[in-house]
Amino acid sequence: MSQKSVELLTITSAPIGMPYQWSVGIYGSRFFEEIRKTQRFVGIRCPQCGKVRVPPRRICGECFCEMDELVYLPSAGTIVAFSVVNYPFLDPSTGKKRPIPYTYGYIQIDGADNIFSHIINETDADKIRVGMRVQAVFKKPEEMQGNIEDIRYFDIIK
Amino acid sequence: MAKRVAIIGTGQTHHRSHRLDVNGREMIYEAVNRALDDSGLTIADIDAIVIGNMDHFESINYVDAWSVEGSGGVMKPIMKVTTGGTTGTSVAIAAYYHVASGMFDKVLAIGWEKNSESDTTGAIVTCSDPVWDRYSYSGAIPSLATEASAYMEKYGATPEDAAYVALRERTHAQNNPYAHMYGRPITLQDVMDSPMLAYPIRLLDICPRTDGAAAVIFASEDVAEKLTPQPAWIQAASVRHTFTWFGDVDQRSGLQSLQRASQEAYRIAGIKNPVDDFDVAELYLPYSYAGLKWIEALGFCEPGEGPQFIRDGHTNMGGKIPVNPSGGVMSTNCIGATALLRVAEAAIQVMGKGEARQVPDVNRALATGFGGCWWSDVMILGKEKP
């Protein structure tokens, strides 16, 4: 059948809500507890490769072994990479448009071997450089909810 | 002892942004039929099927079952394999494993995507860790952009360097009537002037969203040469998937998964100098800066030399190692099919069926897949039986 002879239709799903409930685990829960109580980060050291990773998790994927040595880290670090997000999209976690522009940052927390991804509080790409120092800014402890938004963003240290 | 395996035929749709005239199954059917025609087979000749697409993209969860009318899978062994961006190379390598096992003679690999049916970025965001990464993650573009920012800082690469990659891909696509961007040439200035999506990536630095499907037929050494005069033999396949958390990937180093996968594949196939030993490469380069950095991981040049290697024209048609005669991912990106198109296009080059996009006298071709959390797959295809 020729497609010119018929109007081509699409149908649209309703804005359905499908809530999920993800387990944060022992070490992740400890991380959020620590930033609420002391505003410092907790990482974890692998007994085999010796690397410190933040956020803490139970298993070192590279060594495939369990970790249990917590390491306390400051809430400052260095920008390793970044991007200023400038285009609109629906956030599947909220069903709403993510506010833009915002800066997606990869930050090496002092004393960690891996990189922590979060938001940098500067959206002018000309004012951000790889290698700049940043400091985590937290919510007030009484406003914290035990999730990643308890860290509001990272401020560039002038 | 594993059977030796060859590709004997390929098929693909004419890729477009919106194929409202077909549903997913019907689009798959088009690619499968073209692959059967190319191989001189009917669906009755196919012993097993491997199919894949992106999870969450069309909200179709059991794609192996859902697609059987279009794949030809009714009453056949069929498996779904899905690994994000690498899905296309994963279905290809899984089909290769099927045939190499000796249990199946002719296996059909299918990759497809109807990007028009969902919000691509929203769907990709769901691949990131929901507790730690998802809050700040915004899909493929800024994730790739961070890599570019670290590469620029380390080696002084510029947006113009990257724009040469975008120009090459789009220029090559003008030779490929299947490409989404066929008939839409651009200039270097167009790339530099296009809207900034996520610093430093502009609109023309990144791949499009495409509706399309690809199908590739793998056959054992017992039947391949009887079915086609020049099969494309699989000389090596390698898979290296690393981390799940984006922060565990160190953007200051080269793309380690691609380094490791290519080193293993080169060892298996006896590749000493990739630029000399390959006649063509179909690389999964989803954005322009990858065309600078990832050819370093593949050993085409030393770290930091990617920009000059591109400016010297070595990867253009007629260069030392033409990259992406098809126009690549930046000219066609039906994501579940995208890496399979790299394998299909490499096979097309080996079989000499590339028409306007054919590189002369291809003996050996390199194909790659990229996706997930900075994961890489590599396949090496050639005229000679391994």
The DSSP secondary structure of B39-66, one letter per residue, reads HT--GGG--EEEEE--TTSSS---HHHH
- C-alpha dihedral sign at B306, B309, B315, B317: positive
Q: Which residues of chain B have pLDDT under 70?
A: none
Interface residue B139 vs chain A (CB under 8 A): yes
CA B243 vs. chain centroid, Å, equals 20
Chain B residues lying within 8 Å of A104, measured CB to CB: 136-138, 142-143, 145-146, 198
Band (A134; pLDDT cuts 50, 70, 90): very high
C-alpha R_g of chain B: 19
Quote ipTM for the complex: 0.92
Closest partner residue to B21 (CB to CB) among A3, A55, A98 is A3
Q: Report the alpha-carbon distance of residue B379 to residue B238 in Å, rounded.
A: 7
Band (A4; pLDDT cuts 50, 70, 90): confident
Domain ranges of chain B: 5-119+210-227, 129-207+235-382
Our CA-based measurement puts residue A68 at a distance from the nearest CA of chain B, in whole angstroms, of 18
Band (A1; pLDDT cuts 50, 70, 90): low
**What is the pTM for the complete model shown?**
0.96
Instruction: Kindly report the CATH class assigned to B129-207+235-382.
Output: alpha beta
Closest partner residue to A83 (CB to CB) among B119, B198, B249 is B198
Q: What is the pLDDT of residue A42?
A: 97
Band (A70; pLDDT cuts 50, 70, 90): very high
Q: What is the pLDDT of residue A15?
A: 74
Q: Decide yes or no: CATH 3.40.50.2020 for domain B5-119+210-227.
A: no
Q: Report the alpha-carbon distance of residue B297 to residue A32 in Å, rounded.
A: 38
Chain B residues lying within 8 Å of A87, measured CB to CB: 121, 141, 197-198
Q: Which residues 12-31 in chain B show a CB within 8 A of chain A?
A: 20-21
Q: What is the pLDDT of residue B364?
A: 98
Q: Report the alpha-carbon distance of residue B321 to residue B319 in Å, rounded.
A: 5
Band (A92; pLDDT cuts 50, 70, 90): confident
Domains B5-119+210-227 and B129-207+235-382 share a fold: yes
b/e map of B331-350 (b: 16 or more CB within 10 Å)? bbbbbbbbbbbbbbbbbbbb
Q: Report the alpha-carbon distance of residue B206 to residue B145 in Å, rounded.
A: 10
Instruction: Give the number of other Cβ atoms within 10 Å of residue B258's Cβ.
Output: 29
CA atoms within 13 A on the CB side of A153: 12
Checking if the pLDDT of A17 tops 80, the result is no
Closest C-alpha to B109, from B260, B31, B215, B25: B215
pLDDT digits (tens, 9 = 90+) for B252-297: 899 999 999 999 999 999 999 999 999 999 999 999 999 999 999 9
Task: For chain A, list residues whose CB is within 8 angstroms of any CB belonging to chain B.
Answer: 3, 8, 10, 13, 20, 22, 24, 28, 53, 55, 61, 80-87, 89-93, 98, 104-106, 114-119, 125, 129-131, 147-149
B1 exposed, middle or buried (CB, 10 Å; 0-12, 13-18, 19+)? exposed
Chain A interface disruption, residue of B19, B128, B131, most A CBs within 10 A: B131
Placement of tokens 């497809």 in the chain:
B112
Instruction: Give the number of other Cβ atoms within 10 Å of residue B108's Cβ.
Output: 32
Interface residue B255 vs chain A (CB under 8 A): no
pLDDT digits (tens, 9 = 90+) for B297-330: 999 999 999 999 999 999 999 999 999 999 999 9
Q: What is the pLDDT of residue B1?
A: 73
Interface residue B384 vs chain A (CB under 8 A): no
